[in-house]
Each structure stands twice: as C-alpha cells, then as structure tokens.
Amino acid sequence: MFNTNDQISKISLSGFEAALRVAQISLDSAERLVKLNLEASKQTLEENVKVAKALAGAGDAQEALNQFNQLASQSVDKAVANSRNVYEIVSAAQSELSKLAEENLGSFNKNLITALEGAAKNAPAGSDNALNAVKTSLAAAAAAVNSFSKAAQQVAEFTDSSIKAASSATADAVKTATKRA
C-alpha cells in the first residue's frame, strides 16, 4: 500500500534540511565578507597613518606629489584586490546555492514521481493518461531548469572572466597614469 504520510514527511524533511543549508551558506558568506571588510579597514587606517607621517615629513612639493601618486596607485590596487575578493565570496556563495537548488529540485522531482507511481497503483482505471501527462510535464520542467542552470553557469563564467580582465586593466591603467605623473 502507498503511504502518503511517509512521502510528505520525506519531502518536508528535505525542505527543512535545504533551508538550514541555505542559512549556513548565507552566514558563512556574511562572516567572510565582514572579516574581509574589517581587515581592509584596519589596513587602510594603518596605511593612512603612515602616509600622513610621510607627507608631513616631505621636504618639498614634488616629493609630496610623488608620495601622493604612489598612495593613489596603492589605493587603487588594494581597492581592485578587495573588489576581487568580494566578488569571489559572492560568486562562491551563489555557486553553492545554485548547486543546492539543483540537488533539491532533483530530489523533489524523484520523490514526486515516486509518489505519482505509488498513486498510479491505487488509482482508478483510466487515470493512466493523466498521470503520464503529469510525469511528462515534470520531465519537461526538469529539462528546462537544467538548461537554465547551464546557461546561468555560462553567464557566471563569462562574468568572472570579464571582471578579472576589467580589474587587471584598471590596475594597469592606474599604474601607467601614476608613472606618467
């Protein structure tokens, strides 16, 4: 005999576990972002103290300008590095959440198909066509989600390479501009 309560319990437990995993991924990512920002703030404060002392000790305007240009270059380099780190944290979290969603959707579809097959055994005569239509719809939906997931992964890879190229170009442009000044 088909036990609907067991199937519902499995689906509910799976959903609860997924929610806990989403919370864990979110908290881990938030913790990494906070740690990164606190470390960047600490470094910025320490460097600003050093720069203030160096500028105060500059002998002439040209030396002060050179130190200021060097500071600007270092600041841009650090900002680009910090942006890269933030992007990597966010990208990793997005990747984990996407993987979790795919796993849970696959598990949900399996459980739903199992439940439909169990219901089909106890269904009245003539309901086979309706159950087959539901199964076909689920398979089509799963295929669509899979296609969407692959497209999203390609967009993420393209975005990742574009961001890396842009940040390198920005850092190189600032270095070039600083050397000219």
Domain boundaries, the chain: 24-179
Tokens representing residue 173 in the block:
């442009």
Which residues make Cβ contacts (< 8 Å) with residue 142, sequence separation at least 6?
A: 105, 106, 109
Global pTM reads: 0.65
Which residues make Cβ contacts (< 8 Å) with residue 10, sequence separation at least 6?
A: 111
Tokens representing residue 141 in the block:
């939906």
Closest listed residue to residue 51, CA positions, set 78, 75, 81: 75
**Predicted local confidence at residue 177, as pLDDT:** 62
Integer Cα distance of 159 and 164 in angstroms: 9
pLDDT for residue 173 is more than 70: no
Range of weakest confidence among 1-10, 38-47, 53-62, 158-167:
1-10
